[in-house]
Chain A
Amino acid sequence: MVLQLFLNGVILGSIIALGAIGLSLIYGILKFGHFAHGDLMTLGAYFAFLFKVQLGLPFWLAFVLAALLTAGTAILLNLILYRHLKKRDSVIVMISSVGAALIIRNLVLLFWGPQNQFYEKAIQMPIVLAGGLLRIKENQIIILVLALTLVIAVHLFLSKTKMGKAMRAMSDNIDLAQITGINTEKVIIWTWAMSGVLTAAAGILLAFDTHLTPVMGWNLLLPLFAAVILGGIGSPYGAMFGGLVIGISQEMSTLIISAAYKPAVAFTIMILMLIIRPSGLMGKKV
C-alpha cells in the first residue's frame, strides 16, 4: 500500500516536475507567476489528442507535434500579451495570464467538448511486482521513462549549452545578463519555447496516465506553483525536486486524510514553506 502510493506519487511528481520547470524559469526571468501554465498543459494534451486520435498519427509524432504547437502558443502569448505588459505592475501581467488561462480552457472546451477523452480505449492489465505489493501499468512505465529522459535532456541543455546557461544567468540576475551582452529577448523566447515543450509533455503524460478533461491542467496549477515555491523561484532543479515532493506527498497523504483533499496538501506544503523559508529550498533570496 505504502509502496504503491509512493510509486503513484513518483508518477504524479514527475508530471508536476515537468510542468514546474518552465513555470519556475519564467517566474525567475520575467518576474511574474504565469497562471496560464496549467491550461497550456491541457492544450498540449489536447493537441496530442488531435494528432493521435483524430488524425491517427503515431504516438511519438503526435507527442512531438503537440509539444511544438504548445511551444508556439507560449511564444505567441508572450508576443501579443506579456511582452507589452511587462513594463507595468506585475499584477497586471498576472491578471492577463489569468485571462489567457480562461481563454485557452474555453477554446479547448469549444473544440473538444467537456466530456472525458482518452488516447486509447483499451484497458491495460497492470504488471504485478514485489509479490503483489506493487502494480504498475505499461503506460506508467512509459511515463516514467519519458519524464526521466526529458529531465535529463533539460539538465544537459541547461548545463552544457550556451542558451541554457544564459537562461539560468537571466533567472539569477537579469541586469547583469544584459551587461554581459546576453540577447535577453532571444533568451526569453527560448524560455517560452522550452516551457511550452515541457508543459505539453506534462499534459500529455498526465492524460496518458488518466484521461483528458478541459480542467486537467487548471487542477494542477496549485501543485505546480507549490513545486516552484518549494524549490525556489527561478531554480529549474528546485522545481524538479519540488515537483517530486509535492507529487509524493499528495499521494501518500491519502494514508491519513480523505483523497478528496489531495489538492490541499500542495497548498499546505506551500504555505509552510512560505512561513519557514520563502526563498525556497534552492532559491536565492527574494
Chain B
Amino acid sequence: MTFAGVFSYLVFFLIFAGIYAVMTMALNMQRGFAGLFNIGIAGFWAVGSYTSAIMTKGPSPDHLGGFGMPFIIGLLAAGLISALVALLVGIPTIRLREDYLGIATIGIAEIIRLVIKNEAWLSNGVRGISAIPKPMAGSFGSNYNLFFLLIVVLIIALFYYLSEKGINSPWGRILRAIREDEEVVKAVGKNVVRYRMEAFILGAFMMGVGGALYAHFTSFISPEAFRPMQATFLVWIMLIIGGSANNFGSIVGAFLTWGIWTGTEFLTGMLPAAYTTQAAAIRVILIGVFLELILLNRPQGLFGEKKYSSASTTADG
C-alpha cells in the first residue's frame, strides 16, 4: 500500500472511530454519570441517521423528504428527535429500576427498526436512503475525508467541553451524588427522576448527532446497513474499556476498541472469500470474549472512574 493509501485509510478509520467516540461519550452521560442502562443505542443512532438524511436531502419520490436543509440543521434535528424519543421512553421507565429501562430501550430500538423497515413512505423501507448529501461536498477534492474528520473532531471537542462543564456544574454534582446515594439526594429534596431524565435526554441528543454524522459520511443508510446489537455492544465495550464516568477514557476507549474491531477484520480477512459469513461471526465472538475478559479481570476499565471535585457534596447546588 502506498503512503497516500495508508493515509486515506487512516482518515477513514479515524472518522468511524470518532463517530463511535461521540456515541461513547453519549452513553457515558447516561450510564457513567447517571447510572442509566441503555442497550438500545442502535435505535437512537438510527433515529439520528434517518432524521438528518430526510431533513437534508432534496425531493425524492422514494421517501419523505425534500426539505433540503443545511447539514447543521440536519444534525440539530437528529439530536432533537432522538432526545424526544428518549423522553417518551423515559417517562414510563426512568423512575423504575435500572433494568426496566434497559429492557425498554431494547424494545424501542426494535420498534424503530420495524418502523424504518415497514414505513416505506417515510424511510423507503428495506431499500434504505441513498445519496445523503455531504456537507460542502466537492469542495476539497481528494482531501474531502480530511475535512469530514475535522467536523467529527470538532463535534467531539464540543461534546467533551459541554459534558465536562455540565458535570462540574451544580447540576452535574447532583447527578453524581444520585449515583452514589440516591436516598441522600432525595432527602435534601431534589427531584431525582428529573436529573436522570435530563441526563438520558442529553445522551440521546448526542447519539442522534452521532447517527447523523454516520449517515452523512456513508451517504447510505438502511435498516440492515449495520447490525444494531453489534453497534450497541461495541459502544458498551468502548465505555467499559475507557472506564465509567470518564469522558477522556470514553474517547480513548472508542478509538482503542475500534482499532481492535478493525484488527479482527484484518485477521478474518485472511480467510478465503467463501467464508465471509463465518469471518463476521468469528469477529463478534472474539470481541464478545474480549468484553467478558475485561469485565472479569479489569472491571474499572483502563482509566477507571475519573475523580471529579467534590463528588459527594449533595446539599449544595
Contact = CB atoms under 8 A, between A and B. Distances in A.
Direct contact of A and B (CB under 8 A): yes
Contact of B99 (A88, A94, A260): A94
B233 A102 contact: yes
Interface string B270-286: 00000001101110110
Contacts of B296: 81, 84-85
Contacts of B277: 109, 113-114
B19 interface: no
- Contact size range, B: 35 or more
Interface stretch (B74-82, B101-109, B137-145, B147-155): B101-109
Interface in A100-116: 100-103, 105-107, 109-110, 113-114
A270 B103 contact: yes
A274 interface: yes
B292 A274 contact: no
B58 interface: no
B236 A109 contact: no
Given A102-B230, A221-B106, A274-B92, A107 B281 contact: yes
A42 to B, nearest CB: 13
Nearest to B96: A278
Contacts of B288: 99-100, 102-103, 106
B293 to A, nearest CB: 10
Nearest to B227: A102
Contact of B103 (A33, A114, A261): A33
Interface residues of A, number: 44
Interface string A72-111: 0000000001001100101110111011111101110110
Contacts of A225: 103, 106
A263 B99 contact: no
B285 A264 contact: no
A264 B107 CA distance: 8
B285 A258 contact: no
Residue with the highest number of chain A CB atoms closer than 10 Å, among B117, B277, B281, B289:
B281
A98 to B, nearest CB: 6
B114 A263 contact: yes
A219 to B, nearest CB: 9
A271 B291 CA distance: 30
Interface of A: 32-33, 35, 81, 84-85, 88, 90-92, 94-96, 98-103, 105-107, 109-110, 113-114, 218, 221-222, 225, 229, 258, 260-261, 263-264, 266-267, 270-271, 274-275, 278, 286
List of 5 A-B pairs having minimum Cβ-Cβ separation, nearest first: A267-B107, A106-B281, A103-B288, A109-B281, A110-B281
7 contacts: A85-B296, A109-B281, A260-B117, A264-B111, A267-B104, A267-B108, A274-B104
